[in-house]
Amino acid sequence: AWRVLHDAADMKEETRTRCGQRISIFANINLLSDLKPAREFKAEGVGLYRSEFPFIVRNDFPTEEEQYVIYKKLVDQMEGRMVTFRTLDIGGDKMLSYYSNVNEANPFLGMRAIRFSLENKDIFSQQLRAFLRAGADADTRIMFPLVSSVDDFIAARDIAYECMSSLDAEGIAFNPDTKFGVMMELPSAVEVVDELAQEADFLSIGSNDLIQYMLAVDRTNEMVSSLYLAHHPAILRAINRIVRAGLKYEKDVSICGDLSADPRMLPFLLGVGLKKFSIDSVNAPTLQRLVNELNMEEAEKIARTMLALGRISEVEAFLLERNLAPE
C-alpha cells in the first residue's frame, strides 16, 4: 500500500508536507534522455548529473568541446533551474573500456572517482572547464564524488579555480559563481563533516555509497545484499550528523542516493531536517505524494526515536510497529 503510484502529470509545482513545510524535489540525471521525464515532473533542478555516461559510451576520453556540447544541452533544457554536475565517478563497478586500471583487487577501494580525477589532472581540468563554460549565465554547481578528507575537497576545488583563471585569461565565458560541494559517501568524510561543511558551499548525501562503505557491504554483491541496510543505526546517525553540520554552518544539504525514494525512510529523513531530495524521475510522483501525507512534528518524533535505537532489530521492530516495514 506504500507505493501510491500516480502520474508526473498530476504533480503540483511545489511539494509540501501536510503541515505546509516546503520540500524540494530535484532530478537525478544519467543520460540527456532523462531530462524529459524530469521536466514532466517539474523537477526544481538537477540534484545529480552522473557525468560518467558520456565517458562510458565512447572509445576514448571525450574532449572538452565534446563534453561542453552535452553539458550545455543539459543546462539549456533545465531553463534556468539549478544544475548540479558531478565530476567523473569511474572505477568501482564503472570501468572505461579504453582505460586499463582493471587490475585492482578491490576496485571499490581503489582508483575511483575523485581519486582518478586528482591523479589525472588533464582529464579532470578538461571536464571542469566544460562544466564551468556550460554554466555561464546559469545556476550551476559542481560536486566531487568519494571525497575522503577536507584535503581532497580543497585539492579538487583548487584545480577548478585554476581552470577559472585560465578561462578568464583566454576570454572564454564561464560561471564565476559556480558552487562547490562534497558528496558525503565515506565514513571518513562523516568524521570530518564539520570541517567539510565550513569549507564547501553544499553537501550532498550519496546514500548508495555511504551505506556500502559504512557497512563494508559491496553494493553490487548479491551474496551480502541482506546486509545492505539503510536503517542500520550507524547510517541513521551518520545522516543526522551530516544534516546537523549543514545547519550549523548554514550550508545546503541534500540527498541524492536511492534512499530518498524509500518510503520507509522518508519520515526519518524529513525528521532529521532534510528538505532537498534528488531522485530518479520515475519515483518523483510517489515521493511528492508521501511528503504531502507527512507532518513535520510527527516526522521529528520518529527521527528522535530511531536515533536513540542502537540495534538493527530495534529499528526494524519500530518500523514494523509503525507500518513502515522493511521490504
Name the site residues for ligand PEP (rule: CB under 6 A).
48, 50, 89, 185, 206-209, 256-257
Signed CA dihedral, 285, 286, 287, 288: sign only? positive
Q: Does 209 bind Mg ion (CB under 5 A)?
A: yes
The smaller minimum CB distance to ligand PEP, of residues 163 and 206, is found at: 206
CA gap 41, 285 in Å, rounded: 7
Residues 6+ apart with CB under 8 A from 72: 133, 134
The minimum distance between CB 60 and Mg ion, in angstroms, equals 24
Between 101 and 295, whose beta carbon lies closer to ligand PEP?
101
Which own/partner contact pairs does 245-249 have at CB distance under 8 Å and 24+ positions apart? 245/193, 245/194, 245/196, 245/197, 245/203, 246/197, 246/202, 246/203, 247/273, 248/194, 248/197, 249/194, 249/197, 249/198
- Segment interacting with Mg ion (CB under 5 A) among 47-55, 199-207, 275-283, 301-309: 199-207
- Residue 256 interacts with which of ligand PEP, Mg ion, none, CB < 5 to 8 Å by class: ligand PEP
Min dist CB 324 to Mg ion, Å, is 25
C-alpha pair distances (Å), 9 with each of 34, 41, 261, 287, 302: 16, 7, 19, 14, 31
Q: Name the residue number minimizing CB distance to Mg ion.
A: 209
- Cell 521525464 sits at which residue? 37
Q: Which residue has the cell 548508495?
A: 208
Q: Considering beta carbons, is residue 163 or 280 the nearer one to Mg ion?
A: 280
Length of the chain: 327
**Size of interface with Mg ion, in residues (CB under 5 A):** 2
Which one of Mg ion, ligand PEP, none is in contact with 305 (Cβ closer than 5 to 8 A by kind)? none
Closest CA to 31 of 72, 70, 83: 70
Shortest spacing between CB 299 and ligand PEP, in angstroms = 22
Q: Is 206 in the site for Mg ion (CB under 5 A)?
A: yes
Write down the least CB distance from residue 303 to ligand PEP, Å. 20
Least distance from C-beta 208 to Mg ion, angstroms?
A: 5
Contacts with Mg ion, residue ranges (CB under 5 A):
206, 209
